[in-house]
């Protein structure tokens, strides 16, 4: 069993603390800040073994060096980002595996948001830590990756089991959902999802994780084959990548 804690930090970031009870090993995924992680570790009497970084942006690596200095943890990140992930100890590539005690994560390269972005997939735990690649009802915007890369990365993630829990790095859900509703106002799954989201946010609760099944039913960036969506963006029968490109451009200015 993999214990997963979700720490909300900054405006809308989530840090995840992963703990393997059998070995006692603990990992922080994308620690934007060190202190909330140190506080939670102290509260639970856990030792930090690893940091798993998905990409190099400051709101994902900001706590790296302090956590490493304070805990001696090992920092794992993409080979492609080794020059820009602070304190990186181990470089990984697509299809590599990383261990957290008894738990195994598969590394999947998902360039697009950035050129070096990776995600961590724990198949046995049904959990995907996807950073800024896939969000609830949305996806990451482009920095130094390309639209074609982002498209391919999302195609890859869609091949995971539908029950996979999607642990993304930001609480962007409500805004993403509003955009999605402009495209598919008659999508019942989307309407229901947004009602749930409104309830959760009114209580200041997280809307993350979702599941891949929910994303397939509601996330416009995974629904470029939807006739209603294609019509909404004026690209009926359009090539999927062309529709996707249009969606990303529209969301950028939404």
- By the criterion CB under 5 A, which residues form the site for Fe ion? 59, 132
CB nearer Zn ion, residue 41 or residue 157: 157
CB nearer Fe ion, residue 30 or residue 184: 30
Task: Decide if 56 is catalytic.
Answer: no
Choice among 19, 55, 56, 117 that is catalytic:
55
Can you give the three-state secondary structure of 46-93, one letter per residue?
Answer: CCCCEEECCCCCHHHHCCHHHHHHHHCCEEEEEHHHCCCCCCCCEEEC
Task: Decide if 144 is catalytic.
Answer: no
Choice among 19, 56, 113, 117 that is catalytic:
113
Positive or negative torsion for Cα 147, 130, 170, 194:
positive
CB 33 within 8 A of CB 70: no
**Pairing state between β 90-92 and 74-78:** parallel
Helix (H) or strand (E) holding 135: strand 134-135
Task: Decide if 60 is catalytic.
Answer: yes
Please, what is the minimum distance in Å from the beta carbon of residue 72 to Fe ion?
26
* Chain contacts with Zn ion (rule: CB under 5 A): 57, 132
CB nearer Zn ion, residue 86 or residue 238: 86
Task: Decide if 83 is catalytic.
Answer: no
CA dist 130 and 74 (Å) reads 20
Please, what is the minimum distance in Å from the beta carbon of residue 151 to Zn ion?
18
The residues assigned a catalytic role are 55, 57, 59-60, 113, 132, 170
């Amino acid at each position: 069993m993999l214990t997963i804690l979700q720490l909300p930090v900054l405006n809308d970031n989530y840090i995840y603390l992963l703990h393997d009870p059998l070995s006692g090993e603990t990992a922080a995924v994308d620690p934007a800040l060190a202190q909330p992680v140190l506080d939670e570790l102290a509260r639970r009497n856990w030792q930090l073994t690893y940091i798993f970084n998905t990409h190099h942006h400051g709101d994902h690596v900001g706590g790296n060096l302090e956590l490493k200095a304070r805990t001696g943890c090992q920092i794992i990140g993409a080979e492609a980002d080794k020059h820009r992930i602070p304190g990186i100890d181990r470089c990984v590539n697509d299809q590599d595996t990383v261990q957290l005690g008894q738990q195994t994560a598969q590394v999947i390269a998902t360039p697009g948001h950035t050129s070096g972005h990776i995600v961590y997939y724990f198949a046995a735990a049904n959990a995907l830590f996807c950073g800024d690649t896939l969000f609830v009802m949305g996806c990451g915007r482009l920095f130094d990756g390309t639209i074609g890369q982002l498209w391919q990365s999302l195609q890859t993630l869609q091949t995971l089991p539908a029950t996979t829990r999607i642990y993304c790095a930001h609480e962007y859900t409500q805004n993403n959902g509003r955009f999605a509703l402009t495209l598919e106002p008659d999508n019942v799954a989307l309407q229901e999802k947004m009602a749930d989201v409104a309830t959760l946010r009114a209580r200041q609760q997280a809307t993350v994780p979702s599941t891949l099944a929910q994303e397939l039913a509601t996330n416009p960036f995974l629904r470029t084959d939807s006739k209603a969506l294609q019509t909404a963006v004026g690209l009926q029968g359009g090539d999927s990548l062309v529709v996707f490109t249009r969606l990303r451009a529209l969301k950028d200015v939404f």
